[in-house]
Amino acid sequence: MKDKGGERLEDWKIKISVLWLFYAVALTAYVTLEGFEPGALEQVMAGEMGGIKITPELMLLFAIIFLVPLVMAFLSVACPRDSRNRWANIVVGAVFVVIQILGLSDAVRLLSAWMILMEISKLLAAALIVWYAWKSKKKT
């Protein structure tokens, strides 16, 4: 089904799904690059990351942060109820925008160019998810 502009009504779901996948890949790249920082591996082997003790609870939180974008990518195209799909993407996307703002402020504090680039990339992806989900209300 097409709207007046010729765009398929479901295109917003595909765009959001791809943005969630982009976010997941950028997050994986960030963590990989972080492992190349001098002293990073030694910290992890000592049971710390950036001065924070690595606990099972912290690992569970990281697992959730890694899995949520992948689950959202699937649900964005599989969920048949557009209004629930939109609101799930708006709410979860907004949470990830906040996470990225915090991450960006930390990267700026450290003056790390690669961290700033990766944080901005993830922030833009999360913000675009919210934007496309919000904008899709007008099309249905």
- Condensed to tens digits (0 to 9), the pLDDT of residues 23-33 reads 999 999 999 99
> Is there a domain that residue 44 lies in?
yes
d(CA 69, CA 18): 10
Instruction: Convert the pLDDT of each residue in 131-140 to its tens digit.
Output: 999 998 765 4
DSSP 136: G
> Is there a domain that residue 16 lies in?
yes
> Is there a domain that residue 5 lies in?
no
Instruction: Convert the pLDDT of each residue in 103-120 to its tens digit.
Output: 898 889 888 899 999 999
Residues 6+ apart with CB under 8 A from 54: 44, 47, 48
> Is there a domain that residue 110 lies in?
yes
As for how many domains the chain has, the answer is 1
Instruction: Convert the pLDDT of each residue in 74-89 to its tens digit.
Output: 999 998 888 899 999 9
Instruction: Convert the pLDDT of each residue in 29-72 to its tens digit.
Output: 999 999 898 988 899 899 898 788 999 999 999 999 999 999 99
Give the range of the structural domain holding residue 37, as residue numbers without chain letter. Answer: 11-134
pLDDT given for residue 5 in this prediction:
52
Cα 123 versus chain centre, distance: 7
> Is there a domain that residue 63 lies in?
yes
Q: Which pTM value belongs to this model?
A: 0.86
Predicted confidence band of residue 1 (pLDDT cuts 50, 70, 90): very low
